[in-house]
């Protein structure tokens, strides 16, 4: 009986075709798979550089409307402006329920720009560190939602930090309420400074 010789060339081509199909399949799946960094929340309103996103809480949206009214005036009441900024920042920073993941830090747009990177780093390593990924909208984790921010104290004083000086900075203390008490901070202290006619948060405790 005559033995059949193996065609090494055909076998090699066959193996390469199979490997190519497998790699193509993996590549297609990876390209179609959503990535965390590509998901952006729609901005539904804006006023002088401040943005309102569609996933913001009802409380935050109401306060943002107050901001729009105040900043649309010919003469802005900076005391009221400082109060509104404080409420918006605390609400967005401590409302974690609408955040996509632990890198989605709230309130960043209200922070004095030179301090923003430090603020984000501290937030992601502390209060945001345990926030589970919700890129697919199936998170079961219970997270806080701020329902009210009450200003308990406002003082004007000089603020100095490195090259930053404001002779009339706002030192504000607040009480924070949530839709459900999950053990998150109920008090906070802020320092708000004037940066070229725009109020920004320079410190928080």
- 2-45 per-position pLDDT tens digit: 444 545 555 556 555 565 555 555 554 554 444 444 467 899 99
Q: Return the structure tokens found at 2.
A: 């005559």
Per-residue pLDDT, 78: 97
Q: For all residues of the chain together, what is the average pLDDT?
A: 88
Residue 25 lies inside a defined structural domain of this protein: no
- 69 versus 163: the higher-pLDDT residue is 69
Per-residue pLDDT, 40: 74
Residue 195 lies inside a defined structural domain of this protein: yes
Residue 24 lies inside a defined structural domain of this protein: no
Residue 107 lies inside a defined structural domain of this protein: yes
d(CA 131, CA 103): 9
User: What is the value of pTM for the model shown?
Assistant: 0.81
Residue 8 lies inside a defined structural domain of this protein: no
pLDDT digits (tens, 9 = 90+) for 77-131: 999 999 999 999 999 999 999 999 999 999 999 999 999 999 999 999 999 999 9
Residue 144 has pLDDT above 90, yes or no: yes
Domain, as residue range, for 159: 44-130+144-204
Per-residue pLDDT, 17: 52
Q: Return the structure tokens found at 185.
A: 């901070």
Q: Exposure of 49 by Cβ count < 10 A (0-12 exposed, 13-18 middle, 19+ buried)? A: exposed
Residue 168 lies inside a defined structural domain of this protein: yes
Could you give the 3-state DSSP secondary structure of residue 99? Answer: coil
Residue 202 has pLDDT above 90, yes or no: yes
Per-residue pLDDT, 25: 54
Nearest to 149 by CA among 119, 186, 182: 186
Residue 57 has pLDDT above 60, yes or no: yes
pLDDT-above-90 percentage for the chain: 78
Residue 104 lies inside a defined structural domain of this protein: yes
pLDDT digits (tens, 9 = 90+) for 177-186: 999 999 999 9
Number of domains making up the chain: 1
Per-residue pLDDT, 35: 47
């Amino acid at each position: 009986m005559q033995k059949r010789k193996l065609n090494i060339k055909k076998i090699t081509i066959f193996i390469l075709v199979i490997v190519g199909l497998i790699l193509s399949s993996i590549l297609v799946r990876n390209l179609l798979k959503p990535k965390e960094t590509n998901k952006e929340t729609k901005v539904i309103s804006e006023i002088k550089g401040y943005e309102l996103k569609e996933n913001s809480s009802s409380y935050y949206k109401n306060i943002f409307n107050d901001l729009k009214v105040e900043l649309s005036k010919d003469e802005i009441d900076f005391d009221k402006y400082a109060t509104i900024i404080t409420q918006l920042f605390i609400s967005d920073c401590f409302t974690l329920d609408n955040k996509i993941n632990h890198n989605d830090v709230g309130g960043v747009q209200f922070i004095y720009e030179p301090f923003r990177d430090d603020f984000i780093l501290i937030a992601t390593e502390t209060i945001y560190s345990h926030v589970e990924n919700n890129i697919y909208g199936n998170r079961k984790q219970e997270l806080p939602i701020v329902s009210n921010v009450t200003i308990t104290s406002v003082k004007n004083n000089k603020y100095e930090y490195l090259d930053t000086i404001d002779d009339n900075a706002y030192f504000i203390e607040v009480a924070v309420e949530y839709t459900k008490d999950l053990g998150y901070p109920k008090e906070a202290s802020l320092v708000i400074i004037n940066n070229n006619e725009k109020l920004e948060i320079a410190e928080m405790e």
